[in-house]
Structure 1
């Protein structure tokens, strides 16, 4: 048994001995092995922190709930959205599915067999493919998300003429790039502390999928490349639809100064200002139908090795940057659209895991592709990079000459211009259909809610239920994402927020025949029900992922015809989430949003700060059933009414 000397003891040893010990790593701690002392002694330096992925081996696998657990919860979730006769039919289909020796048991057994052969999780590849990569509609509105950053400590510039790139924009952009590179260093070197909750450690795998990650359009299903460690030395920069490969690290990943990065960005502007002919806006294709884009990409790749080299540069880049030579209105209802879809889809590459976007006035944010990771992970990066503004040079940086940014030139083919024109038309139509507004509610936040002994998240979910009921006159299937990072390679589970208890509350709230005590009891019950579902979902015992896994085990048409649980209209109806929501709290350094997931629905993102709540609300203009501005007004009134009611 070895005796370990403390780090203070090391300082008392003769320097001749100190110089001769060797360093070894064991159990995430550094040990200084000193042969002069004895092979039975070593010196342990106890200043090391746990490595980023040091807890991965103790994180449990995602469980497979029992058929009984899932189907009972599923039937309960159908009650508030089905008529009695519809519920009876749906319940009979569920009971047939789970009866002894029925199809449910066969599919459940197959799911357990799949779990034995999958390295990390039975769900991981099913979810990646079914939720994202097999989806063929354009990702620009249907998949991607956006975040707007808190403005720089020095604010933003006023009245910048269109067509200009400003020094302030370049300086903030270079600082953000430097901060992002610092975060990537922490992941590559496993310096980011492993995260945990009171229930235990959280899976850190999604951090490996942030840098150098790209969704690649392919047929019949897309692909994702995601190297780790992410050791590329370059990013891609889009300026006026032109794409540049820009080195931002020295040889071996050596860090450069912010001024060096500024020079790279200014070089791009100078090149474009002095160019005679611009390349076609290839980035538009990333906002097109995935099959159209996959076909066009293969055609471009077949044209030349130069095109293939361009795609390699784009796909392997640490991330993407869009420099916009314009500024949006100071009205946040307008400015966030530039991050959402750029109004016309130009000067973007929507397939990168995240693309930093900076306007000429210095306002900044991100557009992200959803398939590699869920919001909380890039959110952690954004907290880091924005909280460290104004950015400072990293301690290990030095001024290093970098290669001149490379303007990517494309070898095109005759029909490409027509394809791009059609892409522009399709993207414009989709973007013009988006009805997205913000609500920055400043009457109260988590401090007041906690003082009132209310769960902030569950309370906001009930406020959304009340607002929807007031707006539409009926409840609807509602989605809230719950993280399952307590399990290895966990992603999300659905919390079905619309319950029989939430409906009872929303129906009673504006009913004068109910006394305040009765309404308060109904609100309390609805919150308790929501919290119970949230706990079950985070523990891997929700409804939607298990049912998806079972459905994917069907092998024959005969089995498909017998699976009445999935062919009954209630299955699709219960997942037709007219209200889709996500909690991205606290919103101190950024807030964000996403598109509604069904044509007649709303997409609501919210960030609960200590003294306020930031909402984004999206819907589609083509459908008269929805109106984001109207919903915002009703939601604000609902928040006010609930405050007065609870106070």
Structure 2
């Protein structure tokens, strides 16, 4: 469930190509890392005790990257284009060539960066320099499974806030405070891949984290330990600072938190029209330059605006109380969590904003910059699993401070900007075509019995579906976590391969028998797993190339960079299929927007007996249709099972 491989490429590619049609939005949505909290170390170890043992992200050799990159071009280029591209790669990496110069600079950068040679490059090129709106283009969404205690068939009337809604919001708030306490106290169990420790740094980047719209690039701000004693609550676009623990962090009961939320409802319900604030939150859905300029204007209008922005920014997280319920149809209900339908009652710059509808349905909209999906994914798992046991172990007898209405001074210019942002948001939202699959015919149990890697199998389902739908194959993105390394984020797995193409051709061939189709599938799966292992080990193609491109210092070097000047570079990372694995999907399921105008954003979660998908595309593209593509995916899921028997 993020955000940036193709986009990062474009941010640097802008300086080496005038083809503006390639400057599109992307994101990186990491697959879930199969972490284990069963530490081989003593039970009392600290969450971050292993950080000194986690190695630094390696810099692959030029030869390694060149070989893997050229192999990734084989299925997408014709013979003439491939020959030209290979010559460009060889020219770049030849002894004494530009590649060696850039590689040397990358190694020098690695000596001065705190955690990784990639860390600053990735934040800037992948996220902060990108100026398209964060809503849809960067932010991800996840919908929690509905509580069995709620009667969703009898939703409260629109315009009201329900007890069930406040109860769930208070319960989740208490559970989130429990998790934050674990991170602050360094008692969250350390995570491992088998016996290898994983980097835990990203857990410091969720609570209290926020993005700041600025020119020429944004900032991301994180704090650890996150010691704020309040959250921000939004209702009908009104924003409140709501203390949920004592002045020194003393924990209170769920009931006390619920009463604080109820005070917000009472305040909004009884608020005179002249006291209602403009829908400032809508500005966070707009183009980053537009929002940065509006924010700067607001800061110049009054010191009150400084204080109000600080109140929102420093909150542990945001709670959005919606006085309505979305349809029970999952194709409809997730849209409220994705973008609210109109971008109202949201603050898209906070790392976590939790959304509660008045029938009790809940979800989260997350800003992707500070952390990858596996981190909030762990938090969300704990949240839903502990829904009935979120009461803190120790409850203090303290009186919570009063709630405060967060107010802004706005002039006519800002009011007009908000109106235009509403128009822009609605246009963008109306252009998104997003639907879901909850496929219950088989899951990981059956796939494992058929000796198939569940993740690699689903990737081959997508390859087959795309070919059936379009009669060709396309560069495909899947994320691999690099948390085996200090400050590790993600690497790209290029799922469209020579072996995936051979599988698709064989599967669709009338001449291939069942055994041959099985053999081709297993070969494609093995090839995918090998790339996944290389990517997780820091030996992928895309991040290294991003680092090398970022080392160019002069226009002459940009012209000499044959590997990046060749059209194959952009073509190979124009991901019409962008996918991520957020398994198992038992407690929640999620999604994100497409990364190119002609593409699909596909999130999937593989449970033991089911597979969930979200599929997004843009209505403005005549080539894409999420619902039709959904049917093609379903056909591929069923046909591949028949072949495996």
TM-score for both structures, normalised by structure 2: 0.92
How far is the alpha carbon of 1:518 from its aligned partner?
Answer: 1.9
Contact kept? 1:260, 1:400, Cα under 8 Å:
no
How far is the alpha carbon of 1:49 from its aligned partner?
Answer: 1.6
1-structure distance, mates of 2:214, 2:76: 38
Matched, 1:323 2:321: yes
How far is the alpha carbon of 1:517 from its aligned partner?
Answer: 2.0
Matched, 1:106 2:104: no
Contact kept? 2:150, 2:164, Cα under 8 Å:
no
How far is the alpha carbon of 1:86 from its aligned partner?
Answer: 0.7
2-structure distance, mates of 1:619, 1:239: 30
2-structure distance, mates of 1:486, 1:56: 10
The change in CA–CA distance for 1:453 and 1:48 in structure 2 (over 3 A counts) is closer
Equivalent in the alignment of 2:226: 230
**Match for residue 195 of structure 1 among 162, 187, 191:** 191
Matched, 1:131 2:126: yes
Contact kept? 2:464, 2:636, Cα under 8 Å:
yes
Matched, 1:163 2:170: no
2-structure distance, mates of 1:61, 1:217: 31
TM-score for both structures, normalised by structure 1: 0.92
Q: Give 3-state SS (helix, strand or coil) of 1:372's partner.
A: coil
**Match for residue 267 of structure 2 among 260, 268, 271:** 271
Matched, 1:258 2:254: yes
Q: Give 3-state SS (helix, strand or coil) of 2:396's partner.
A: coil
Q: Give 3-state SS (helix, strand or coil) of 2:136's partner.
A: helix
Equivalent in the alignment of 1:143: 138
Contact kept? 1:344, 1:424, Cα under 8 Å:
yes
2-structure distance, mates of 1:358, 1:564: 52
Contact kept? 1:153, 1:390, Cα under 8 Å:
no
**Match for residue 91 of structure 2 among 93, 96, 120:** 96
Q: Give the alignment of 1:4-19 within 5 angstroms.
A: none
Instruction: For residues 15-66 of structure 1, give each alpha carbon's deviation from its aligned partner in whole angstroms, at most 9, with x where no partner exists.
Output: xxxxxxxxxxxxxxxxxxxxxxxxxxxxxxx985211001000000000000
Q: Give 3-state SS (helix, strand or coil) of 2:141's partner.
A: strand
Equivalent in the alignment of 2:566: 568
**Match for residue 46 of structure 2 among 47, 51, 58:** 51
**Match for residue 601 of structure 1 among 599, 602, 608:** 599
2-structure distance, mates of 1:307, 1:354: 22
Contact kept? 2:178, 2:390, Cα under 8 Å:
no
Contact kept? 1:156, 1:363, Cα under 8 Å:
no
More divergent stretch after superposition (383-392 vs 173-182): 383-392
Contact kept? 2:172, 2:390, Cα under 8 Å:
no
Matched, 1:182 2:174: no
1-structure distance, mates of 2:325, 2:639: 37
1-structure distance, mates of 2:352, 2:469: 35
Q: Give 3-state SS (helix, strand or coil) of 1:576's partner.
A: coil
1-structure distance, mates of 2:195, 2:599: 34
The structure with the largest alpha-carbon Rg is 1
2-structure distance, mates of 1:516, 1:160: 54
Q: Give 3-state SS (helix, strand or coil) of 1:498's partner.
A: coil
1-structure distance, mates of 2:485, 2:166: 41
Q: Give 3-state SS (helix, strand or coil) of 1:261's partner.
A: helix
1-structure distance, mates of 2:414, 2:207: 30
Instruction: For residues 162-184 of structure 1, give each alpha carbon's deviation from its aligned partner in whole angstroms, at most 9, with x where no partner exists.
Output: 10100110011100000000000
Equivalent in the alignment of 1:24: none
More divergent stretch after superposition (504-513 vs 206-215): 504-513
Contact kept? 1:90, 1:570, Cα under 8 Å:
yes
2-structure distance, mates of 1:267, 1:282: 22
Equivalent in the alignment of 1:334: 332
Instruction: For residues 568-612 of structure 1, give each alpha carbon's deviation from its aligned partner in whole angstroms, at most 9, with x where no partner exists.
Output: 111111111000000001111111000010000000000100110
Equivalent in the alignment of 1:512: 510
The change in CA–CA distance for 1:582 and 1:156 in structure 2 (over 3 A counts) is farther
Matched, 1:66 2:61: yes
Equivalent in the alignment of 1:552: 550
Equivalent in the alignment of 2:644: 646
Q: Give 3-state SS (helix, strand or coil) of 2:601's partner.
A: strand
**Match for residue 408 of structure 1 among 403, 406, 409:** 406
Equivalent in the alignment of 1:535: 533
Does 1 or 2 have the higher relative contact order (CA < 8 Å, sep 6+)?
2
Equivalent in the alignment of 2:482: 484
Q: Which runs of 5+ in 2 are unaligned?
A: 1-40
**Match for residue 422 of structure 2 among 406, 421, 424:** 424
Equivalent in the alignment of 2:345: 347
